[in-house]
Structure 1
Amino acid sequence: MAAGTTPAPSTILNDWDLPPLFRRSDQWALRHQSESFKGVRTHLVVLLLATAAAMLTEQATGRIMAACAAVLYGATILLGLTTSRRRSRTHWQAHRAVAELVKTLAWQYMVHGGPFHSGVKDPDALFAERLEERLRELRKCGWEDSREKAQEFGKGQITAQMRAVRAKSYAARHDIYLRDRLLEQAVWYKNRASRAHRAAARWSAFTAALTLLALTAALVGTTGLIGGVDLAGLLSAAAAAGVAWQEVRRHGPLTHAHSIIEQDLEAARVAMSTTVTEAGWAEAVEETERLMSPAHTEWLVRFGG
């Protein structure tokens, strides 16, 4: 395959050909991720409403607004305690780590990559050993193992399609990996970087507009036209909530991280298409899989922030 040539789309492998544990962990990760973001978003909105109610207390007659502010602040505290107790973010990250672990082990097993090179006498036993060893570590980090039947452990996670791919020739495995794994992931990271970049731009513009409005309100407030309402304070609180939401979603750092990974994967695809030989294949696959690991992404996010 020539450098720069884009492999044709493939229908050889899909998620149903990977270990069942991958699909289950992926679904749980998405569920916990949604819960985590929803909890933070609700927390910020209720806190902002409580701030607005508190600011309007002095302008309202009676104690209605004061009572509303007290109730909303109380709800904010309860939401914080509930979010802390549910540990959605911890469970999300643990299940995502398991999903990616299972996926990368499955791909290395199928294409003779990393420790599953062609010289391994019993790749099935090695797969089971590596999988269960890593899962024992991740249980301590919040991963919930829902497997109950004996056939769901170890070798039971190796599907028939995985064995079929492993039995193919080097040329066939080479083509499948570049097309179904490398190209698919490069496109995924490229799309995610674009989405994160657009989201970062929208939220940056939104918070900048709120900050400008707060500044305008503060200047107008000095003339006494607004009365006793602290509109500048409310707008500033809204802008702060927007900044906090951006920090939670990490749009900017993720744009940086995903763009770098996409570029590295494209470079790896070109190298594995042209210069990597069968002798260096296992090592090249292992290094490529490292680029797609959650740990590598998190490392890039830290420096991209």
Structure 2
Amino acid sequence: MEQKDYPGLYRAADNASISAQNAYLRSVQFHIFTLILGAILAINPLPNTTYSLINAFVFLVALGVSIFIASKRYERGWYSARAVAESVKTATWRYMMRAEPFLDAHSVYEVNAVFRNMLRGILTSNNQIGDLLNGDDCAYEQITPEMKSTRAYDIDHRKNFYLLTRIDEQRKWYAKKSKHNKKRSLQFFILLVLLQSIAIAFVLLRISFPEWKIWPTEVFVVAAGTVTTWIQLKRFQEIATAYALTAHEIGIIRTKLDEANSDELFSDFVRDAENAFSREHTQWIAKVEK
């Protein structure tokens, strides 16, 4: 399933989430840059007026960026739009697999009506992101041709499609992301230890060489603080653990597919699988409500 095969609401929310996330992370990165630059400029032992004004300006920019981040609240748009996107994606797969609440009815139009009402409910519950859902994505179909054709498959074809395109794809995604975040957690921990060690070394060297006037200790202290902030922001280890557990849970659920040899049992299987996938979606909602 490509992005174009999902409802227009998913595409709009997904793009909005990515855009807000990028804006938030770029703002934080620029804030970190200005703080470190200001600390570097501050180590000059004999600053003149112009130099001091430049240094003050850099810290003023850092202050302005922090106020900008707090006022724009990009992270709220990021989390809210992601929650909408994941809710719509889960509903889409339930629809295509004829799972509860989109079981067979007398007419597919009845099922389509249930799906539209669910999308309307998701959108109504998250109307605070309305200003983010702009662009061409708003004009795309909410029930795409791919969704309709997949729903028309017989149960064996749907099971195989769900296994390859949803179960295995999600399992690989969670496993890959877990490995990536674990690696990044180790890298940033090593960087944090290195920066703190250098700061300690400069403090000790200052005792041995008191005649030296320039000591960049504060630069490494600030840098260590920004690394700590970035680690807390990205939550590498927490995400690595959560994604690893989800990947294992998906693997366990996968073994039950052969037992889902009727529409009702397959509906139950899809429900359990989508509940596992939506765990991340639940975390996004928890972030929004904090």
Alignment of 1:96-107 (within 5 A): 96-107=82-93
Aligned position for 2:8: 20
User: Is residue 257–residue 300 contact of structure 1 (8 Å, CA) maintained in 2?
Assistant: no
Query: What is the aligned-residue RMSD (CA, Å)?
Result: 2.6
- Tell me if the contact between 1:15 and 1:23 (Cα under 8 Å) persists in the aligned partners: yes
- Measured after TM superposition, the shift of residue 148 of structure 1 is 9.4
Q: Is the CA contact (8 Å cut-off) linking 1:90 and 1:142 kept in structure 2? A: no
The residue type paired with residue 222 of structure 2 is A
Same amino acid, percent of matched pairs: 20
User: Aligned-pair distance for 1:280?
Assistant: 2.5
More displaced 10-residue stretch of structure 1: 209-218 or 82-91: 82-91
- 1:231-264, Cα deviation, whole Å (9 max, x unpaired): 3332121111111111111111111111111111
Q: Partner amino acid for 1:165?
A: T
Deviations 1:213-247 (A, max 9, x none): 11111111111257233433321211111111111
Detail structure 1 runs of 4+ shifted over 6 Å in the superposition. Answer: 147-151
Whichever residue aligns with residue 226 of structure 2, its letter is A
Q: 1:150 to 1:269 in 2, by over 3 A?
A: closer
1:83 to 59, 69, 77: 69
1:55 aligns with 2:43: yes
Give the Å deviation of 1:60.
2.0
Any conservation in 2 of the 1:207–1:243 contact (CA below 8 Å)?
Answer: yes
The match for 2:78 is 92
User: Mean Cα displacement is larger for which, 275-284 or 242-251?
Assistant: 275-284
Q: Which has the higher contact order (CA 8 A, sep 6+)?
A: 2
Q: Quick one: which amino acid aligns to residue 166 of structure 1?
A: R
Deviation at 1:165, TM superposition (A): 1.2
Q: What is the alpha-carbon distance in structure 1 between the residues aligned to residue 204 and residue 261 of structure 2?
A: 65
Letter in 2 for 1:257: A
Given that residues 12 and 137 in structure 2 are in contact (C-alpha distance below 8 angstroms), is that contact kept between their aligned partners in structure 1? no
Q: 2:194 maps to which residue?
A: 209
| Separation in structure 1 between the aligned mates of residue 42 and residue 139 of structure 2, nearest angstrom | 59
Give the partner amino acid of 2:125: E
Alpha-carbon distance in structure 2 between the residues aligned to 1:201 and 1:124: 48
Partners of 1:229 and 1:149 lie apart in 2 by 56
Structure 2 residue 159 is the aligned partner of structure 1 residue 174: yes
- Counterpart of 2:29? 41
- Structure-2 change in CA distance of 1:148 and 1:133 (3 Å): farther
Shift of 1:119: 5.0
CA separation of 1:39 and 1:67: change in aligned 2, threshold 3 A: same
Of 175, 181, 204, which aligns to 1:190? 175
More displaced stretch, 127-136 vs 281-290: 281-290
Give, in whole Å, the separation in 2 of the partners of 1:149 and 1:274: 39
Aligned to 2:219: 234
- 144 and 150 in structure 1: CA distance in 2 versus 1, 3 angstrom threshold: closer
**2:235 & 2:57 partners in 1: Cα distance?**
31
Structure 1 residues 147 and 126, CA, compared in 2 at 3 Å: closer, same or farther?
A: farther
Which residue number corresponds to residue 5 of structure 1? none
Contact 2:80 2:285 in 1 (8 A): no
Aligned to 1:4: none
TM-score normalised to structure 1 length: 0.84
Q: What pairs up with 1:260-299 in 2 under 5 angstroms?
A: 260-274=245-259, 277-293=262-278, 294-297=280-283
2:55 maps to 69
- Cα-to-partner distance string for 1:43-65 (whole Å, 9 max, x where unaligned): 01101222232333xx1242343
Question: How far apart are residue 276 of structure 1 and its match?
Answer: 6.8
TM-score by length of 2: 0.88
Identify which range, 261-270 or 60-69, moves more after superposition: 60-69
Alignment correspondent of 1:126: 114
Q: 258-267 or 120-129: which moved more?
A: 120-129
DSSP-derived class of the 2:208 partner: coil
Distance 2:40 2:51 in 1: 9
Q: What one-letter code is carried by the residue in structure 2 that aligns with 1:283?
A: D
Report 1:103-114 matches (<5 A).
103-114=89-100
State the SS of the aligned residue for 1:168: coil
Structure 1 unmatched ranges of 5 or more: 1-12
| 8 Å contact kept, 1:113–1:282 | yes
